[in-house]
Amino acid sequence: MTEELVLSEQRGAVLVLTFNRPRVLNAWTNELEDQYYDLLAAADEDPGVRAIVVTGSGRGFCSGADLGNLKNVGGVSESDLVRPRDRDFPTTIRKPLIAAVNGVAAGLGMVEALYCDVRFGSSATIGSCAMDTHEPCQVRKEAALSGLIHVPRGCLI
């Protein structure tokens, strides 16, 4: 049986997809991507789903690429790099895609949040992309102020 790297829960007309690798802050792997994109594709075709919420289990949304996979980088062929769907596949979904960013969203995790139509964050939300020279709290403040992530009123940023 395949490990459930993305949990799926139907709540009325809303499908909640939860990245499920909490021990590594939901770090991104090809297997997680495949499960997530398969669930997105199925939801896009399901008339019972009117909106999709994406979140992460535990303390983070997604900490980015799983760097543990880098140990195999030398033995990768060009065909290993071909993915079944383009990286920006979530942008093709015709239903509202909502990110509930519950903590760290770094690298690919931040990209996945930005692919969503709307992003909501908690007071624990921190976003960062590669080559970012800002302090994490500064990134959080800039993301909130720029409208990239909605932080509820009353939360300190």
Output the pLDDT for position 138: 43
Domains of the chain listed by start with CATH number: 6-67+82-146 (3.90.226.10)
Query: Over the stretch 101-152, which tens digit does the pLDDT of each residue have?
Result: 998 888 889 889 989 999 988 776 666 555 444 444 444 444 544 455 555 4
Average pLDDT for the chain: 81
CB 72 within 8 A of CB 94: no
Output the pLDDT for position 69: 72
Q: pLDDT band at residue 95, thresholds of 50, 70 and 90?
A: very high
pLDDT at 18 over 50: yes
Q: What residue spans of the chain are helical by DSSP H?
A: 30-45, 108-115, 136-146
Output the pLDDT for position 87: 80
For residue 81, give every residue at least 6 positions away whose Cβ sits within 8 Å of its Cβ, in sequence order, or none.
none
Q: How many residues does the chain have?
A: 157
Q: Is 72 helix (H, G, I), strand (E, B) or coil?
A: helix
Output the pLDDT for position 24: 95
Question: Please, what's the b/e burial string for 65-89 (b: 16 or more CB within 10 A of its CB; e: otherwise)?
Answer: bbeeeeeeeeeeeeeeeeeeeeeeb
Residue with the larger pLDDT of the pair 93 and 147: 93
Q: pLDDT band at residue 30, thresholds of 50, 70 and 90?
A: confident
Output the pLDDT for position 76: 66
Output the pLDDT for position 85: 81
Question: How far is residue 125's CA from residue 37's CA, in Å, rounded to a whole number?
Answer: 24
The whole model's pTM is what?
0.78
Question: How far is residue 55's CA from residue 62's CA, in Å, rounded to a whole number?
Answer: 8
For residue 108, give every residue at least 6 positions away whose Cβ sits within 8 Å of its Cβ, in sequence order, or none.
28, 62, 64, 65
Output the pLDDT for position 107: 87
Task: Name the least confident of 13-22, 28-37, 76-85.
Answer: 76-85
